[in-house]
Amino acid sequence: MPQPILVTGGAGFIGANFIRQWLAAEEAPVINLDKLTYAGNLRNLEDVSAGPGYSFVQGDINDRGLVAKLLAERRPRAIVHFAAESHVDRSIHGPDDFIRTNVNGTFALLEEARAYCAGLGPAGGEFRLVHVSTDEVYGSLGPEDAPFFESTPYAPNSPYSASKAASDHLVRAYHHTYGLPVLTTNCSNNYGPHQFPEKLIPLMILNALQGKPLPVYGDGQHVRDWLYVADHCAAIQIVLARGRVGETYNIGGGNQRRNFEIVETICAILDELRPGDPVVPHRQLIKFVADRPGHDRRYAMNSGKIEGELGWRPKETLESGLRKTIAWYLAHERWTQEVTSGSYRQWISVQYSL
């Protein structure tokens, strides 16, 4: 049997989609290490959990003894590091968890990976650690500014983005100081199946279906570059297989849209698919709410490096990706009911003052 890969945070949104795509391609076995915080859900992997190529370990990346034991016993050929606290709003209200997981957790993982890699001898040159990060580390763009390049100076503006910037710097330092064979990816805003509905697109879908307000921050003119999660996962697989060690690759969807446009597009698709919902047209539900502190105005990614070097390009347009996403949520009512518990509803109502 081929050597497995270790995926951290594999029960979360992007990690679960990555594991599913990896196993569908009949790649090496996967060990999923996940702490199962509020956004981690093993139901995200129900369709692959019984397969021979998948195994799950509940644990924290800060538990260095556990990580060392997994590496020593399972001998993975790569680590794909998704585990992170990832919601900007939550980082504003409670940054402690973001520092603990994103900074300290990445440090702990790097230390154990360094020890493991050193113990592999000559085979250590084949080992890879892919660190999955975000475009938010680059800060905010003006309307006419060029997109972010891999060489764009870091200027994080939220506790979340600062914690991810710190982890990026640690990964880079471990390559340059210790020779650890790492690769870093910085992606734009992901969306798609299994996304926890505190994020914009699933929140709008689920609220619209129930006739609830669709809260839009500020004037709704904040611009994001939207990337369908399956395209992102395909890019990470390519980076792991063919990326140059020590390099960073930006992964963008090529879909810059204002938040208000995204919400209007979702409403238009739901008008077509769900004409019998409590409130139609769904755009009547849009409600502008107070902007969040330090809200970055615009993100945009230049993906020329990964396109030119590795041949990756996104397959989904925003329209096709949104239709697939909406169809998935419509078909998975049980999943959404389970994740939108009382604590979730309380968080949303307080966060948006609804």
Active site residues: 135-136, 160
Per the domain annotation, does 263 fall within a domain? no
Report how far residue 135's alpha carbon sits from residue 37's, in angstroms, rounded to the nearest whole number: 23
pLDDT number for residue 153: 98
Quick one: pLDDT at residue 2?
Answer: 86
CB-based contact 258:318 (threshold 8 Å)? no
- Give tens-digit pLDDT for 278-337: 999 999 999 999 999 989 999 999 999 999 999 999 999 999 999 999 999 999 988 988
Structural domain contains residue 242: yes
Range of the domain at 44: 5-193+226-257+298-317
Whether 284 is in a domain gets the answer: no
Let me know if residue 202 belongs to a domain.
no
Question: The sheet that has 78-81: what strands, in order across it?
Answer: 54-58, 30-34, 5-8, 78-81, 128-134, 182-187, 248-251
Domain membership of residue 207 (yes or no) is no
Q: Which residues of the chain have pLDDT under 50?
A: 347
Rounded CA-CA distance 150/159 in Å is: 21
Question: Residue 125: its pLDDT value, please?
Answer: 86
Domain count, the chain: 1
pLDDT single digits (tens) 145-162: 999 999 999 999 999 999
In a domain, 134, yes or no: yes
What is the CATH classification number for the domain harbouring 93?
3.40.50.720
Is 340 within a domain? no
How many secondary structure helices (H) and strands (E) does the chain include? 13, 12
**Residue from 117, 34, 29 nearest 68 by CA:** 117
In a domain, 215, yes or no: no
CB 186 within 8 A of CB 134: yes
The helix or strand, by DSSP H or E, that contains position 215, with its residue range, turns out to be strand 214-217
Q: How far apart are CA 296 and CA 166, in angstroms?
A: 18
